[in-house]
Structure 1
Amino acid sequence: MKLNKLFLILMLLVSITSFSQGLLKQKQEQIKSIKVAFITNELSLTPDEAAKFWPIYNAFEDKQQEIRRTKLKGYINRLDDETFDNLSEKESANLLTQLESTEDDLYQLKKKFNADLRAVLPASKILKLKKAEEKFNRKLLQQFKERRAKR
């Protein structure tokens, strides 16, 4: 009987976790689609420009996220670790070198992204993209703050 209850609780926890992850993924997709519409509108992309722009943009976003996830993960995990304050100078130097390398990788990725965009968009729209991304992020943060304040 106890085994059945334990199994039921375990299944309930797995279901809740799966449901939560599904909701998070759904919310991320929703935000992404709103961002696509927002940026397309802000840049006044023609259908031809949009067809060339979005594959480049999405590849950039994916690669940027991959770099952050894989390379910064070790650094961030060390920040959360209680032993962070007890790192030796050599360990600290290694972490700093890792962080610098990651930042350099991200910088090189951004340079390549800008070069790729120049082939499909005028410079004025590339600058508008930077402004549109900042504007979108500010709006998203504002909505998040407003929702938290209502709770």
Structure 2
Amino acid sequence: MKVSKILFFTLFLLFFSATGHTQEKSKKERIRALKVAYITEKLSLTTEEAQKLWPVYNKYYDNVSELWHQEYKNIKQPIRNGDINNMSEAEVNRLLAELEDIENQICKENMQLTRNLKGVLPARKILLLKRAEKDFSRELLHKLKRQEDKEKQH
């Protein structure tokens, strides 16, 4: 377990020591590597469990990431840009229907992941995975906020 903590924090330091000019894809890859290390450590995965988990999880993550991208590009970005104020009621209803569709697809992906993992991990580790995903996101956001606050002070 100590080795996985060292690996996690090493990856974490590498992520935050990179320059601000790093390409977006590289950032996403590093965050994904951090997430893998974090989840592996939190679940105390055996080598066999990890070999079975990650192909299933990566497929899920790729599918959900694509849905998040669609949601951002097609719905959230127009709302943030204020474009929604210039849309007709029909266009706004279309956006809302698209949002509902994407949310339903994400829900289906989550349920499918749970079903797929039942043959891969014990039920306890499946639940721990769900918690570890949320904890990782929360910790990452806290670290980013602290880094942002630090940069504002300098």
Q: For this structure pair, what is the TM-score category when the shorter chain's length is used for normalisation?
A: 0.7 to 0.9
TM-score by length of 1: 0.78
Q: Which residue of the partner structure matches residue 68 of structure 2?
A: 68
**In 2, Cα distance between equivalents of 1:81 and 1:150:** 28
SS at match of 2:69: helix
User: How large is the Cα RMSD of the aligned pairs?
Assistant: 2.0
Give matches, 1:1-151, under 5 Å. Answer: 22-151=22-151
Aligned to 1:45, the other structure's residue is in SS state coil
Shift of 1:139: 1.3
Number of residue equivalences: 133
2:4 corresponds to: none
Name which of structure 1's ranges 83-92 and 134-143 shifts more when overlaid on structure 2.
83-92
Q: 1:21 to 1:55 in 2, by over 3 A?
A: farther
Cα deviation code 1:39-86 (max 9, x no counterpart): 111111111111000001111111101122235421124214444113
1:15 match: none
Under a length normalisation based on structure 2, what TM-score does the superposition of the two structures give?
0.77
**Runs of 4 or more consecutive aligned structure 1 residues displaced over 6 Å after TM superposition:** none
Summarize the Cα distance change of 1:83–1:43 in structure 2 as closer, same or farther, 3 Å threshold: closer
- Work out whether residues 72 and 99 of structure 1, in 8 Å CA contact, stay in contact via their aligned partners in 2: no
Higher-Rg member (1/2): 1
Change beyond 3 A, Cα 1:137–1:81: closer
C-alpha displacement of 1:144: 0.6
The answer to which structure, 1 or 2, has the higher relative contact order (CA under 8 A, 6+ apart) is 1
Q: Classify the secondary structure of the residue corresponding to 2:65.
A: helix
Amino acid at match of 2:59: A
Q: Distance in 2 between matches of 1:72 and 1:60?
A: 18
User: Is there any run of 5+ residues in structure 2 with no aligned partner, and where?
Assistant: 1-18
Give structure 1 stretches of 5+ with no counterpart: 1-18
**Cα 1:102/1:115, change in 2 over 3 Å:** same
Q: In 2, are the aligned partners of 1:53 and 1:120 still within 8 Å (CA)? A: yes
Question: Larger deviation: 138-147 or 79-88?
Answer: 79-88
